């Protein structure tokens, strides 16, 4: 594919998910629920954060800090995720609701993947464990660092939403070079040619953030219930290279089963 990032258009809309996501689902990229293999676990393995004994070296991605929010400037990439895959973990690292997990290898993972591209094919539990291992957390509540409100996707305490919207002032970050924009819904060509691309800066969100709208969907720390299982619904945000305009808004509230994996879904960390 082209080396250009798959950017987003400036758009506004109502709350919730619109017809664009329904169309996205009708043409959905490869996805699966659950995983195969038992790699990544060892009794007495890593039970702490990276940089501690048996827990590997820490990735050091750029971060942005403002308005009480610290958030990764980019989506977690394949290179960072590979560092976690090199670690054997004790089962105790699994958060509540992830007891069914057998490993953290993403769907479609190979060692030949470009380390600079966002990791995809991960479920919510993969994202939670990575962010905790990296000494951070999956983006949730600003004040507690824990779970964001499930009932209010536009809460001023939601770190991902407030970072994306620059404190709820802008509904959709816009690309730094709008001439390079291609609509993610109407106007996109053969879906088989669209994949996550390198990051590009976006105006509108917190200064220094990349790809808060478009590129890949991002899991966040907000689920329908505490605990639960692989079928529990959790929130993803930001839209992807597959998305139409409505799904690219900071306010979009998209829900998927915790165990679902897709090659259009990744994540970033906060804290």
CATH code for position 124: 3.90.1580
d(CA 136, CA 159): 13
- Per-residue pLDDT tens for 81-134? 999 999 999 999 999 999 999 999 999 999 999 999 999 999 999 999 999 999
Identify the band that residue 246 occupies on the pLDDT scale cut at 50, 70 and 90.
confident
- What mean pLDDT comes out for the span 23-36? 52
- Domain assignment present for residue 14? The answer is no
Parent domain of 83: 19-25+39-270
pTM, rounded to two decimals: 0.81
Contacts of 61 (CB under 8 A, 6+ apart): 72, 73, 74, 76, 77, 80
- Per-residue pLDDT tens for 182-224? 333 323 433 333 345 455 555 558 999 998 988 999 999 999 9
- Domain assignment present for residue 236? The answer is yes
- Domain assignment present for residue 155? The answer is yes
- Domain assignment present for residue 143? The answer is yes
- Domain assignment present for residue 34? The answer is no
Tally of domains in the chain: 1
What would the DSSP string read from start to end of 190-220? -GGG-------BEESSSTT-B-SSSSSEEEE
- Per-residue pLDDT tens for 169-183? 876 665 433 323 333
């Amino acid at each position: 594919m082209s080396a250009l990032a798959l950017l987003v258009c400036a758009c506004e809309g109502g709350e919730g998910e619109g017809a664009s996501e329904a169309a996205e689902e009708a043409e959905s990229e490869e996805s699966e629920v659950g995983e195969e293999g038992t790699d990544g676990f060892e009794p007495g393995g890593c039970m702490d954060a990276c940089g501690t004994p048996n827990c590997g070296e820490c990735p050091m991605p750029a971060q942005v800090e403002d308005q009480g929010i610290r958030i990764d400037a980019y989506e977690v990439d394949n290179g960072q995720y590979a560092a976690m895959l090199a670690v054997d973990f004790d089962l105790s690292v699994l958060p509540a609701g992830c007891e069914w997990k057998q490993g953290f290898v993403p769907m479609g993972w190979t060692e030949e993947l470009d380390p600079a591209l966002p990791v995809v094919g991960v479920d919510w539990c993969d994202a939670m464990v990575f962010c905790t291992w990296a000494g951070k957390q999956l983006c949730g509540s600003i004040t507690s660092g824990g779970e964001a409100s499930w009932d209010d996707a536009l809460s001023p305490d939601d770190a991902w939403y407030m970072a994306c919207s620059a404190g709820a002032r802008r509904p959709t970050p816009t690309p730094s070079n709008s001439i390079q924009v291609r609509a993610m819904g109407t106007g996109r060509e053969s879906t088989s040619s669209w994949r996550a691309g390198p990051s590009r800066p976006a105006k509108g969100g917190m200064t220094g953030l990349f790809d808060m709208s478009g590129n890949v969907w991002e899991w966040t720390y907000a689920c329908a219930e505490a605990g639960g299982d692989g079928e529990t619904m959790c929130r993803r945000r930001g839209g992807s290279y597959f998305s139409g305009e409505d799904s690219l808004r900071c306010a979009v509230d998209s829900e998927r089963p915790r165990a679902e994996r897709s090659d259009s879904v990744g994540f970033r960390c906060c804290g």
